[in-house]
């Protein structure tokens, strides 16, 4: 016999998911800088929820490597070591070229045009110096392609890596001094149009590791 959850339990679950999704988005897109401390009380007050949903959201994000929980109970976004950055860059270099290659047979012109539009948006936010929008559009560029791979488990792993790197990517943005959209994006788009799998793999690998290797240098 199935037992339906009580209304209070349903409300707590909805609140927990809302807090989790909001914090996850902020972290992934670099809205929270590395080492930023947070409290459960502060999270609860911001989202107008009790301590339980706030605690559950934080617990999930800690398990995904997006937040760090110290022995004293202090919650913060992680400050990644060079070794950790290199490890995450290596994961991107393994996962994302494979996702792109699996997506290639389904990369129709409408998809490519959507990616070109996103790339134009990236160029626009570079001129305004909006680091958060830059990260958001950059991930959208990649996610738009990878969704066509029809490999949800692999994409979930890639998104977990993005999540762990979000605050660090925000720190990286100021060091890149970009004046135009990433050059490797143009190579990705050209390879998609040509149906060039080796070229696509190479362009994606170069794009996802170039900036991170600058941070670890």
Judge whether 174 and 130 are in contact, CB under 8 Å: no
Write down the pLDDT at residue 76.
93
pLDDT in tens, the chain (217 residues): 455 555 555 566 788 899 999 999 999 999 998 999 998 889 999 999 998 999 999 999 999 999 998 877 789 998 999 899 999 999 999 999 999 999 999 999 999 999 999 999 998 888 888 889 999 999 999 999 999 999 999 999 999 999 999 998 887 776 666 666 678 999 999 999 999 999 999 999 999 988 776 666 5
Write down the pLDDT at residue 89.
92
pTM score: 0.88
Retrieve residue 39's tokens. Answer: 């409290």
Alpha-carbon torsion, ordered 102, 104, 110, 114, to 10 deg: 70
Cα distance between residue 99 and residue 91, in whole Å: 12
Name the β-bridge partners of 76. Answer: 37, 68
Write down the pLDDT at residue 7.
57
Write down the pLDDT at residue 4.
55
For the chain, list the domains and their CATH numbers.
7-76 (1.10.10.10), 82-216 (1.20.120.530)
């Amino acid at each position: 016999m199935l037992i339906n959850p009580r209304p209070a339990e349903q409300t707590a679950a909805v609140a927990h998911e809302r807090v989790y999704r909001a914090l996850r988005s902020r972290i992934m897109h670099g809205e929270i800088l590395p080492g930023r401390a947070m409290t459960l009380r502060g999270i609860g007050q911001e989202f107008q929820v009790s301590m339980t949903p706030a605690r559950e959201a934080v617990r999930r994000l800690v398990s995904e490597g997006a937040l760090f929980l110290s022995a004293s109970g202090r919650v913060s976004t992680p400050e990644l070591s060079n070794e950790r950055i290199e490890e995450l860059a290596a994961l991107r270099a393994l996962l994302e070229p494979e996702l792109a290659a699996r997506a290639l047979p389904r990369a129709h012109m409408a998809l490519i045009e959507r990616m070109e539009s996103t790339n134009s948006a990236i160029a626009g936010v570079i001129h305004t110096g909006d680091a958060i929008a830059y990260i958001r559009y950059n991930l959208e560029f990649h996610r738009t392609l990878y969704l066509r791979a029809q490999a949800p488990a692999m994409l979930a792993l890639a998104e977990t890596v993005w999540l762990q790197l979000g605050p660090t990517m925000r720190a990286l943005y100021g060091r890149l001094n970009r004046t135009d959209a990433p050059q490797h994006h143009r190579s990705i788009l050209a390879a998609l149009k040509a149906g060039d799998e080796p070229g696509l793999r190479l362009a994606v690998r170069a794009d996802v590791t170039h900036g991170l290797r600058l941070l670890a240098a």
